[in-house]
Structure 1
Amino acid sequence: MTIRTILKFPNASLRLPAEPVIEFDDDLKILAQDLLETMRAAPGIGITAPHIGVLKRLVVIELGPNSDPGFYVNPEIGQASGEMSRHMEGSVSMPGVSDEIERPASVHVRYQDLSGASRTVEAKGLLSVCLQHEIDQLDGKFWIYRLSKLKRDRLVKRFEKLQRTVKE
């Protein structure tokens, strides 16, 4: 297992759609474990292969230290509730900043596990938020583009200021 380098905003690769996974082999399992270790080191609760520059549809989510990690290959949202909820979101590619995003309160997600078996999950609460956030990332939609232009511009300025402070 290797901790990989996470691409930072505004890297253009974060806006590219990921390709479906078609080979369910040892390389995929190694990539999944690398993502898990990279996410834990960041730290974060969700990460995608595109976050490390690998344009494959693979998501890893671990909601807390007492929960098992979830590995979602080729995830797709089948249904979303009409009820909406707001939640603070951020990204391992944009550490130190977050903002509130409104999304459906629950989603039904179809995906494959690391062996290629088809699965479904009815996600609510934080898992729902994370799956929607990471599936957006797989589709090339970076989370800040769900904010109004004014909020997005303010958040980007805060992030740029944080990055200058870190480098000094």
Structure 2
Amino acid sequence: MGPGEIAVGWAGRDDAHEVSGVLAEGAAWMARKGWPGWTAADIAPAFVAARIAACEMAAARLDGVVAGVCTLTRSDPEFWPDDAPGEAAYLHRLAVRRRFAGARVTPAIVAWCAQTARDWGCRALKLDCHPHISGIYLRLGFTRLDSWTTHPSDRSPYLVDRFVMAL
């Protein structure tokens, strides 16, 4: 990989510290905006290590550093409870280091997730996000499906926009 090229793939055990750092930057950014974000447990090293071990944590590398991360899973009963198994892949916790924000990292992560979902035989890539960042996903080819209030067991209910990308 040459200078300026973005490589996206599954994160490895050695990436756990950097991945946690990217998620912490994302959580701090959301907090500064006043948006409901991830809990400490959502970005804790134990969460990251478990997602890496399950091959559900992806990392985008740019110029030798982890520039962005996300989880990609085959089910999401919390936000997509009515989906049939194998119908879609689910992108969550997409975060980009602030110094790479607005660059090519997010599109590269989404493209990799879409291709991985296709490789799994899924017909769609789905995600949910805070309504204020919906425009990012519309520009990347997602279609807004609806607004939905989630009722997690560990925090107050909150509103998300749900998106789908046909594959």
User: Normalised by the size of structure 1, how large is the TM-score?
Assistant: 0.28
User: Normalised by the size of structure 2, how large is the TM-score?
Assistant: 0.28
- Could you say which structure has the higher strand fraction? 2
